[in-house]
Structure 1
Amino acid sequence: MNSDDIDPLSLLWNTSFNLHKITPLNLTGALTSQTNLKSHSTRLTNILRGDVLRGVRVAESQNSNDDSTSRTGALKKVKFATTTINDELSAVAIIFLYEKITYSAFLVQSSSRLNAAATETSRRTSLRRASVREDQSNHYPLLLTRLPAWLQSRFLEYVVENFDCHVSTLRLPDGFIMKSIEKCLELFTPSSDGNVTDDTQPAKNLQIWLEPPTTKDTEQGTKNGKLQTLKTISMTFTREDIPGLLYKGRELKERLEDENDGRGPFELALSLYAYHHMGIFVEKMKLSKAACAEFITGTAADGSGKCKFFAPKAARQNGDGEAVEETRRHRSWDGMLGSLVEIAS
């Protein structure tokens, strides 16, 4: 295998990405066609090398004094490549291969949503159906970037100009991180008898970061600004304690079923614990960051999101070496990536 050939998934896992939302790409044919993949790989490589600047060929030496060159080395190539993340998600990876470092970006789409949309369009006329299907195949709602600022600005400019689309920062909605924690931990709620085994424990501890409200009520009205005496509260829940916490939360949820305020078992148990042991009203705090076995995600002051994804655990195998799907591991959640694609759509 060529040393320049890199598995795109190896660049996706265990890496922190900036999150963006992007409108459907406008181009002839599907981006995943070999013609388009090769064309954009060559075009972006030439632009970043300095071979082409706004359609005019220039000398590469004009960029040789760029401070970034000393840190990255010369650009070897840019490669657009398709990859399958799981049964539900696929992506086009954009790999920036420099002499000293490799950067990456991913255009991610939901395969199941694409198939459902294609089925819906099958009821229309053949000409209209082909046009709509092409638009849908080039719809990658989520853009992940792991690029230095100077490279990210040039890459986003290329995407906007060449695909006639709009790219914006993906801001995580209120409650998104808490809902993601609930979905991630739902597998580990003990059985009704309260028994806890190693199979019902997550692989890692859970950490969350809470921030005080950004507004406060005064006689003159509501003012912006955090409490100066309290900046961030960090809480860690061990993997051994999480099942018991979820069991208690489920009991609370059943008891408060009539109120139906939308909170899940973890949030209910967390609220009770924080109030009794720390005197904190969790519902008045902002959950700004969370770290667990599947992801680390957080929001900046402007609401923009950043996320790190961990590689999924390999499936258990039977005596014949065949993968075995554990019944307990079945769930409807498509992971953090799937949730991000959904809110970006």
Structure 2
Amino acid sequence: MDQTDLHQLFNTTWTIHRLSPLHHGKDCETLLNNQVALKTYATRLRDHLTGDVLAGIQLDTGTDTNALSKTGALKDCLWQPISPSREATASHALSGILVTLEYENIVYKAALLTNSSNELKGSTALPLLLTRFPTVLRQTFLAFLSANFDTYVSPLRLPSNFLCAGLETYIGSLQRAKTVDAIRELQLTLSFSSSIAPDLRSLNVNVSRAALADMLDAKTSDGSQSLEQKLRSPLISNLTSYLDEHLAMKLDLDGSDQVKQHVRLSKVVCASFVLGGEGRVKLVVADKDDDETKSALEAGEKLLGLVARRAAIGDQSTT
């Protein structure tokens, strides 16, 4: 079977959604690694798209919001199984389906992912949906999934404590591989509720490479270490202390005291990844075969595994 790997998910900015289980019992008993089933749904999606007018889609280029691009005719629609990497641990190993739409002038992709083997007879749980589509095409694709699999699709928001956990997990993975320099500088976006800062919606905090190295020191800023701190990177604790000392901002970024905060972490940006609370993710790896690239792939898969687990349990926490 023509499979693909997780490399296809890197170096692309994805919009993330949550999917309820996909029901396909009326067509096939299994979906993952079922070549006949995947080809059937690829053909259905192609027929569905060619019946709609999707030329002249407005692209989110980030530079010219008025720019229009002609996609041209749809040349191919391909559904491929995604195989987990050999390096991934069982709790973070990702598998799923990669959907590729090849138009004459552009290629769009989507991925349906899971980090568990939760496939029952007639239904498959692929809770995390990644899409790189313009809005019109995304809406059409989501409608197709709902109609063909009786699945419910909802935006996946990532709260402040999850962004902190994701950052700690990614950095911890690089630290173990001794490649943490790949992070370079770190930019954190803090968002404020209108009740306390009606004229200030967000604030970017830039952490230099040197400052990041200091914050990753083995001890917290007050010199103490609890058992919990010994088991994880002290980055968030030291960052919180830094903001308190230099900006007079007492924050609870990781939600450790379970008190609803008016200031939250809403975006994490570095050279290796972007994670946005509004539902965006990007993982970056170089096109090289070296230790740093391998560790970035492993760290990225762990981070996506956390997002997939978040999608599986639903958006139940508040920030």
Q: Deviations over 1:238-264 (max 9, x none)?
A: 33332221216x33486263998x996
- Equivalent residue, structure 2, for 1:219: none
Structure 1 position 151 matched with structure 2 position 151: no
| More contact order relative to length (CA 8 Å, sep ≥ 6) | 2
| Aligned CA distance change for structure 1 residues 170 and 288 (closer, same or farther; 3 Å) | same
Question: Is contact 2:13-2:282 (8 Å) kept?
Answer: yes
Q: What TM-score do you get using the length of structure 1 for normalisation? A: 0.70
Question: Is contact 1:212-1:231 (8 Å) kept?
Answer: yes
- Equivalent residue, structure 2, for 1:230: 200
Where structure 2 has 5 or more consecutive residues not aligned to the other structure, the ranges are: 58-67, 87-92, 253-260, 313-319
- Equivalent residue, structure 1, for 2:34: 33
Secondary structure (helix, strand or coil) at the match of 1:93 reads: strand
Question: Is contact 2:5-2:85 (8 Å) kept?
Answer: no
Q: Deviations over 1:149-185 (max 9, x none)?
A: 1111111111111112111111213411111111222
Runs of 4+ in 1 over 4 A off after TM superposition: 5-11, 187-190, 312-317, 331-334
**What CA distance in whole angstroms lies between the structure 2 residues aligned with 1:258 and 1:43?**
54
Q: 1:308 aligns with which of 256, 259, 282?
A: 282
Amino acid at match of 1:91: G
**What CA distance in whole angstroms lies between the structure 1 residues aligned with 2:195 and 2:120?**
46
Q: What TM-score do you get using the length of structure 2 for normalisation? A: 0.75
Secondary structure (helix, strand or coil) at the match of 1:201 reads: helix
- Equivalent residue, structure 2, for 1:86: 85
**What CA distance in whole angstroms lies between the structure 1 residues aligned with 2:300 and 2:108?**
29
Distance apart, 1:288 and its partner CA: 0.9
Question: Is contact 1:294-1:312 (8 Å) kept?
Answer: no
- Equivalent residue, structure 2, for 1:101: 106
**What CA distance in whole angstroms lies between the structure 1 residues aligned with 2:213 and 2:137?**
44
Question: Is contact 2:113-2:308 (8 Å) kept?
Answer: yes
Number of residue-to-residue matches in the alignment:
280
Amino acid at match of 2:106: I
Question: Is contact 1:295-1:336 (8 Å) kept?
Answer: no
Distance apart, 1:20 and its partner CA: 0.8
- Equivalent residue, structure 1, for 2:14: 17
Amino acid at match of 1:134: K
Distance apart, 1:29 and its partner CA: 2.3
- Equivalent residue, structure 2, for 1:46: 47
More helix by share: 1
**What CA distance in whole angstroms lies between the structure 2 residues aligned with 1:315 and 1:215?**
50
- Equivalent residue, structure 2, for 1:210: 190
Alignment RMSD (CA, Å)? 3.6
Structure 1 range deviating more: 82-91 or 13-22: 82-91
